[in-house]
Amino acid sequence: MLDSKIPAGKLEEKWVDYKGHCKLVNPANKRKLEVIVVGTGLAGASAAASLGELGYQVKAFCFQDSPRRAHSIAAQGGINAAKNYQNDGDSVFRLFYDTIKGGDYRAREANVHRLAEVSVNIIDQCVAQGVPFAREYGGLLNNRSFGGTQVKRTFYAAGQTGQQLLIGAYQALERQVAIGNVKMYSRHEMLEIVKIDGKARGIIARNLVTGELERYFGHAVLLCTGGYGNVFYLSTNAMGSNVTAAWKAHRQGAYFSNPCFTQIHPTCIPVTGDHQSKLTLMSESLRNDGRIWVPKQKDDPRKANDIPEDERDYYLERRYPAFGNLVPRDVASRAAKERCDAGYGVGTTKQAVYLDFRFNLINKYGRTEANKLGIENPDEATLVRLGKEVVKEEYGNLFDMYEKITGENPYEVPMRIYPAVHYTMGGLWVDYELMTNVKGLYALGEANFSDHGANRLGASALMQGLADGYFVIPYTIGNYLADEIATKAIPTTHEAFEASEKEVAGRLERLMSIKGKQSVESFHKRLGKIMWEKCGMARNAKGLTEAIAEIQQLKKEFWSDVRIPGTINEMNPELDKAGRVADFIELGELMCLDALERNESCGGHFREESQTPDGEAERKDDEFMYVAAWEFKGESNWQLHKEELKYEVIKPSQRNYK
Amino acid sequence: MEHYTMNLTLKVWRQANKNVVGRFETYSVTDISSEMSFLEMFDVLNERLIQEGKEPIAFDHDCREGICGMCSMYIDGRPHGPWHGTTTCQLHMRAFKDGDTITVEPWRANAFPVLKDLIVDRTAFDRIIQSGGYVSVNTGVSVDGNAIPIEKEKADKAFAAAACIGCGACVAACKNSSALLFVSAKVSHLSLLPQGGPERKTRALAMVAQMDKEGFGSCTNTGACEAVCPKEISITNIARLNSEYLKAGLSADLSPTS
């Protein structure tokens, strides 16, 4: 039976009550307790730093050459917080409500309310660390708007918010490394969880420079290893982002929740050809000022700027007048797909729509600047020149990136964009304390499933990663470790470590001994194609059933024909990648199974069988108001457990952004 | 944008590990699209090497969108290649033309030893940050984020310095392998903000001391670092660091170790 351990009491008092009553560990005992943190993105770096500050002995691991490289760094647009600095009606309740609604009523109320509560502390913490957020001329913090909300609550640092927040957490982490409370292991990859008497007690990691396997003990293990979007091969994730740590935990008994809940982001640079290795996001913040449109006429041969205003279909503004271009990501992505499928797409592939800044560049920014300068009746060229300066300050790095990739100047012509895989709401099942169903094993940030339901709102991933690491785990881990103060550090010569290392070594040897014909990359591409076509933006029972069979076949082929050059005991990026792709293949099967089982549409999960007459996602609350938690039972064999979702404060309704 | 394909000759540094001597190897690649990124061109070459039963070329890369700072190729004598303000991963093949020969090396600096092929060890940068590149606040401060207004101009300058991605191109470009642009960006970022104020003197002294200890060279103001920085970090940050360092050094009650 799954126990989510949600505290009793009123929603807005649960977290306060929890903090007032959870067990504490005294400072002398903290020094005897060791905690392993895998991954150093926003969740991992903030957790490792905060636990180090408290006095725990922390070991932190990342596969990159430095903890500062984790993919949180690439987050662009911003971080939400219910500060209500804009006096526009924001509150903790409203952030909570928007997040639950945005997630299409598939997240836990208690977790999300806690997230909204601590959001305000995150901003204070980051400012104190020296994170250079955007400011207004009066010296106070600035905000922008994001999708799925009607207030301005997003804090930002140009188009590099993730970078600035991660550097803040990284600096806090390095400060603890200097003091000696955190020991950092970069270029290390976790390849197994070590369990002793049912509790997580350590990991086996591979030193990616020497290839050696190493054993590490911890009284508790935190997985802060991000999402699994790279199962689709093409995504906005970094090349190294992977599911391996979470998947090893899953195979060791941790339940995997809602794996089919994946986020397809509406505004990414379209695919150009088979050589493509990754996709690049254009921040949701651009939808503040960019208007999305396609020509009203199919296969319109004219250039974008030559198509007159009344021959453009601003389809989001047409379909969703209340939220317009700021509808949530799942809604915007499906709307783009609908237009392209209907034959109105633009560009050479016809798989793209326009994101156009000219209107706001001229009318919003250009005019404001002209007014400030006292220029009466400015001509269009003046407005464009003045507006450009402001747009450059807000989004300059994004516009530059677009130009580098496409060779087109987005100040002059509209961007071409198309949806791409971006984020995964699913992840390891955790309770209110962020512990998986394996004792002493935690999952934080994107690696867990808990806060975003079936669709995450923009600027909420950074919020969740930092909430989990700075403000949740420091309390909840104490509640567990308080009962572990008598447990002495277990030597890594223990038979459980011995057995786990042997298991990992055997798997690596098996991979190397295949000596087949096909590269790791080619398998990854084939998996991605299956997933995108059959478990992507639209899914149906037939396609999912086919996908499962195809993935099982691909798995067989992989384990009999993959070619990995080099050897085990050296730096070998192809071997690293092979292990990750092998895990993605297994995960892909589970995602399709989960998508097949959930015969409803909700958030990013769109089952063609379940839609309203006007093509919107149709939930089936009477059948599917639960969290799917999958237990690994053996190869291609899972058992489904259900955690019922109870809404005590919000009444679920069909989402409406019209 | 017109697209085209090209055939190229690559001279790439190969080195099995840090204990052996490396050498250049020559490869030819064909049918490379101008739409590809530079690293995608390497992907194509690596796939071919694997098919031929050879070892692919090891190189660092991760986000492939110019922000993580991991990619680090020295292309035709210039860190990150010919485009201004661009990381290797964002360099696209339309920067080259059919028939070109391209030379690719790792970062070269004593403080960045080669680990394999084009991959170097940059942990020295982490140790420089450990020496003082932070504000000493623990999690849980309760000062409101808007309690201290910060002049927009200063906040913008701090942001511009904080845009450093720690890739090390500045070191690779410098004839002395100086890390002063990296160090000065961090010192500037934090000293421009009131939150970084209390530690500004110790920070400047400690970070410079750690930089010297790691074996980076001295700055002789040639400006090569600024010219190749993919985030266009300005050398005015170095001027600011020098000023911070001098002021700190003139304070009698402070030395890096006290």
Whether residue B258 lies inside any domain: the answer is no
Question: Are residues B133 and B231 located together in one domain of the fold?
Answer: yes
- The answer to whether B111 and B53 have CB atoms below 8 angstroms apart is no
| pLDDT confidence of residue B255 | 54
Domain boundaries, position A581 = 501-644
Task: Answer with the one of B99, B115, B131 that is the final residue of a domain.
Answer: B115
Predicted confidence (pLDDT) per residue in A365-398, tens digit: 999 999 999 999 999 999 999 999 999 988 888 9
Residue A105 and residue A124: Cα distance in Å, rounded?
A: 29
Question: Are residues A382 and A515 located together in one domain of the fold?
Answer: no
Domain boundaries, position B137 = 123-250
| pLDDT confidence of residue B257 | 52
Residue A525 has pLDDT above 70, yes or no: yes
Task: Answer with the one of A393, A421, A449 that is the final residue of a domain.
Answer: A421
Predicted confidence (pLDDT) per residue in A97-124, tens digit: 999 999 999 999 999 999 999 999 999 9
Whether residue B183 lies inside any domain: the answer is yes
Question: Are residues A507 and A639 located together in one domain of the fold?
Answer: yes
Q: Where are the beta strands (DSSP E) in A161-244?
A: 182-185, 188-196, 199-207, 213-217, 220-223
Question: Are residues B227 and B140 located together in one domain of the fold?
Answer: yes
Task: Answer with the one of A421, A445, A460 that is the final residue of a domain.
Answer: A421
Local structure of B101: helix, strand or coil = strand
Task: Answer with the one of B91, B115, B139 that is the final residue of a domain.
Answer: B115
Question: Are residues B210 and B141 located together in one domain of the fold?
Answer: yes
Q: Where are the alpha helices (DSSP H) in B52-137?
A: 123-130
In SS3 terms, A95-139 reads as: HHHHHHHHCCCCCCHHHHHHHHHHHHHHHHHHHHHCCCCCECCCC
The share of chain B scoring above pLDDT 70, in percent, equals 97
Question: Are residues A273 and A389 located together in one domain of the fold?
Answer: yes
Calculate mean pLDDT across residues A561-571. 97
Question: Are residues B130 and B103 located together in one domain of the fold?
Answer: no
Question: Are residues A381 and A509 located together in one domain of the fold?
Answer: no
Question: Are residues A286 and A413 located together in one domain of the fold?
Answer: yes
Whether residue A300 lies inside any domain: the answer is yes
Provide CB contacts within 8 A for A373, sequence distance 6+: A386
Predicted confidence (pLDDT) per residue in A170-183, tens digit: 999 999 999 999 99
Residue A5 has pLDDT above 90, yes or no: yes
**pLDDT band for position A285 (cuts 50, 70, 90):** confident
User: Is B145 an interface residue toward A (CB < 8 Å)?
Assistant: yes
**Letter for the amino acid at A563?**
R
| pLDDT confidence of residue A494 | 98
Residue B121 and residue B215: Cα distance in Å, rounded?
A: 13
| Residue closest to B165 by CA, chosen among A237, A65, A207 | A65
| Residue closest to A51 by CA, chosen among A177, A148, A147 | A177
Whether residue A404 lies inside any domain: the answer is yes
Residue A171 and residue A179: Cα distance in Å, rounded?
A: 12
Q: What is the mean pLDDT of chain A?
A: 96
Q: How crowded is residue A87: how many other Cβ atoms within 10 Å of its Cβ?
A: 8
Let me know how many helices (H) and strands (E) chain B has, helices first: 8, 7
Whether residue B74 lies inside any domain: the answer is yes
Residue A23 has pLDDT above 50, yes or no: yes
Whether residue B60 lies inside any domain: the answer is yes
**pTM confidence score:** 0.97
What domain count does chain A have?
Answer: 2
- The answer to whether B73 and B88 have CB atoms below 8 angstroms apart is yes
The complex's ipTM works out to: 0.97
Question: Are residues B80 and B154 located together in one domain of the fold?
Answer: no
Predicted confidence (pLDDT) per residue in A177-234, tens digit: 999 999 999 999 999 999 999 999 999 999 999 999 999 999 999 999 999 999 999 9
Beta-bridge partner residues of A224: none
Provide CB contacts within 8 A for B258, sequence distance 6+: none
Predicted confidence (pLDDT) per residue in A26-55, tens digit: 999 999 999 999 999 999 999 999 999 999
Question: Are residues A415 and A513 located together in one domain of the fold?
Answer: no
| pLDDT confidence of residue B253 | 65
Q: For B141, which of A70, A124, A405 is closest by C-beta distance?
A: A124
Whether residue B105 lies inside any domain: the answer is yes
Predicted confidence (pLDDT) per residue in A257-280, tens digit: 999 999 999 999 999 888 999 999
> Mind telling me how many Å the CA of B18 is from chain A's nearest CA?
10
Local structure of A602: helix, strand or coil = strand
Provide CB contacts within 8 A for A197, sequence distance 6+: none
| Residue closest to B168 by CA, chosen among B109, B248, B242 | B109
Whether residue A574 lies inside any domain: the answer is yes
Written as six digits, the tokens of B113 are: 């030893």
Whichever domain contains A505, its CATH number is 1.20.58.100
Task: Answer with the one of B115, B135, B169 that is the final residue of a domain.
Answer: B115
Whether residue A142 lies inside any domain: the answer is no
What domain count does chain B have?
Answer: 2
| pLDDT confidence of residue B258 | 43
- Pick the residue from chain B with its C-alpha nearest to A46: B139
Question: Are residues A386 and A524 located together in one domain of the fold?
Answer: no
**A563 with B1: Cβ contact below 8 A:** no
Whether residue A320 lies inside any domain: the answer is yes
Whether residue A529 lies inside any domain: the answer is yes
Mutation site for A-interface testing, chosen from B115, B139, B142 by largest number of A Cβ within 10 Å: B139
Predicted confidence (pLDDT) per residue in A607-649, tens digit: 999 999 988 999 999 999 999 999 999 999 999 999 999 999 9
| pLDDT confidence of residue A102 | 95
Predicted confidence (pLDDT) per residue in A126-148, tens digit: 999 999 999 999 999 999 988 88
Question: Are residues B100 and B135 located together in one domain of the fold?
Answer: no
Written as six digits, the tokens of A124 are: 């204070």
Residue A448 has pLDDT above 50, yes or no: yes
Whether residue A562 lies inside any domain: the answer is yes
| pLDDT confidence of residue A393 | 85
Predicted confidence (pLDDT) per residue in B96-139, tens digit: 999 999 999 999 999 999 999 999 999 999 999 999 999 999 99
- The answer to whether A585 and A529 have CB atoms below 8 angstroms apart is no
Question: Are residues A391 and A301 located together in one domain of the fold?
Answer: yes
Question: Are residues B103 and B130 located together in one domain of the fold?
Answer: no
Chain A residues closer than 8 Å to B159 by CB: 132, 134, 157-158, 164
Question: Are residues B140 and B244 located together in one domain of the fold?
Answer: yes
Task: Answer with the one of A421, A443, A478 that is the final residue of a domain.
Answer: A421
Question: Are residues A409 and A536 located together in one domain of the fold?
Answer: no
Whichever domain contains B27, its CATH number is 3.10.20.30
Chain A residues closer than 8 Å to B116 by CB: 570-571
Question: Are residues B20 and B61 located together in one domain of the fold?
Answer: yes
Whether residue B256 lies inside any domain: the answer is no
Residue A563 annotated to the active site: no
**B92 with A405: Cβ contact below 8 A:** yes
Question: Are residues B91 and B137 located together in one domain of the fold?
Answer: no
Residue A312 and residue A225: Cα distance in Å, rounded?
A: 43
- DSSP at A543: H
Calculate mean pLDDT across residues A499-508. 98
Whether residue B257 lies inside any domain: the answer is no
Calculate mean pLDDT across residues A412-424. 96
**pLDDT band for position B252 (cuts 50, 70, 90):** low
Question: Are residues B198 and B240 located together in one domain of the fold?
Answer: yes
Whether residue A226 lies inside any domain: the answer is no
Q: For B68, which of A73, A124, A280 is closest by C-beta distance?
A: A73
Higher pLDDT, A73 or A289: A73
Whichever domain contains B205, its CATH number is 1.10.1060.10
User: Is B133 an interface residue toward A (CB < 8 Å)?
Assistant: yes
User: Is B137 an interface residue toward A (CB < 8 Å)?
Assistant: yes
User: Considering Cα of A370, then A371, then A376, then A379, what sign does the dihedral take?
Assistant: positive
Question: Are residues B182 and B227 located together in one domain of the fold?
Answer: yes
